[in-house]
Amino acid sequence: MKIEKDKISVKMFFGTSDHVRWSILIGVTIIFTIFLYPNLIIKKHSYKLGDVAASNIKATKDFLIEDKDATEANRREAVEKVLTVYDHDVTLSSTINQNVKTAFKDIRMVFKAEKNQNKTARKPSKTASTDTVKRAITVHDLIWEKKVNFEEKIGVSVSDGAYKILEEEAFLPDIANLICSILKEILNNGVVTNKELLLKEADKGIILRNITTKNELVVQNLKHFYGLDQAKTMVKIIGHPLLKNIDYTLRNMIVDFVQRLIQPNITLNRSETEERKQKADEEIKPVFHKIKAGEMLLREGERVTKVQLLKLKAYEEGIKHEQILSSSIGSALIILCILMTTYILYIHRPS
């Protein structure tokens, strides 16, 4: 008896409450949709490179695919086209030459001061010979006291033997001029620290940037630049016509002097080069291929290529979310219609 009453009360509850009936209807629809969800997921074509396609696959809509390999190839090509930057110090030659001439001139001032003293002290005297010896000793000492200062001005060390020869020649301006002429010709040609590294750019050339004006010049012929060792060898060759009539000892001293003064005036600017390569890489835009609706992505019986795999992946990724959403909504509506039809038929059934 109690069970019958409970059945009647439940029936009255469901029969009189529209909210309850609609809630049950929606709940059942959701449950059915969840059960159907695994069948709504797109089944990806599990093809691998070289597999044979089992069926035709066509694109159902327009979409774009990024060709990462082509993009990366374009970036590599752009980076490879960037020319290596070398800084050119065009003022180095004049700076060194000016320092050499100034250093020689400062030492000659000692000789000049000694000559002036001789002019004012040419009166007969019993101590004349003694005074001459004292002045000579004083001049010699002063010259050697200035050796450190002389080396600092020219920027290189000078052997005692070479300095002694210069003292004997009274640091003549002709010697300084010869040194500067040979050095200028070598530096004007261009001296690089590592010529082997430079010649690796022979196929493309380099950008030679003036460090003073920042003007740039593309240079294709790199062989004419001197390496450090080559530049030192060229001192003898360039200096031969200028020094052929000079004493052997003095000639060797001048050659050694110039070789010590040589410095690279063309240097690799690695940071600027890398910065330009980075900029070139960033300026390359991704390569996209447009696929039109209806285009055949894969034909039955064909061997799958790398490009086709790329198209399939992009296509499946693009339509996956759209189809899941539309399929879910469609399934839910179908279930809802079926349940509503069943419900309407039930409540209007003949008594």
Three-class secondary structure assignment of 218-270: EECCCCCCEEHHHHHHHHHHHHHHHHCCCCHHHHHHHHHHHHHHCCCCEEECH
User: Residue type at 65?
Assistant: I
Which pLDDT value is given to residue 116? 61
Along the 351 residues of the chain, how does pLDDT read in single tens digits?
Answer: 555 555 555 455 555 555 666 676 676 666 665 655 555 444 555 677 777 777 777 777 777 777 888 899 999 999 999 999 999 999 999 999 999 999 999 999 988 876 666 555 555 555 555 555 555 557 888 899 999 999 999 999 999 999 999 999 999 999 999 999 999 999 999 999 999 999 999 999 999 999 999 999 999 999 999 999 999 999 999 999 999 999 999 999 999 999 999 999 999 999 999 999 999 999 999 988 787 777 777 777 788 777 777 777 766 665 655 555 556 666 666 766 776 666 665 665 555
**From residue 145, how far is each of 109, 134, 136 by CA, in Å?**
14, 16, 14
Where do the structural domains in the chain lie, given as residue ranges? 2-67+287-347, 70-89+203-224+265-285, 91-190+225-263
Which pLDDT value is given to residue 5? 52
Which pLDDT value is given to residue 110? 87
Exposure b/e, 231-246, CB count within 10 A at least 16 = b = bbebbeebbeeebeeb
Tell the residue number behind the tokens 């069970």, with chain if given. 3
Which pLDDT value is given to residue 124? 52
Which pLDDT value is given to residue 155? 93
Which pLDDT value is given to residue 108? 93
Which pLDDT value is given to residue 67? 81
Which pLDDT value is given to residue 326? 59
Residue 41: phi and psi, rounded to 5, are -70, 135
Query: What tokens were used for 293?
Result: 């609706």
* C-alpha to C-alpha distance for 122 and 126, rounded to whole angstroms: 12
Which pLDDT value is given to residue 212? 93
Which pLDDT value is given to residue 28? 63
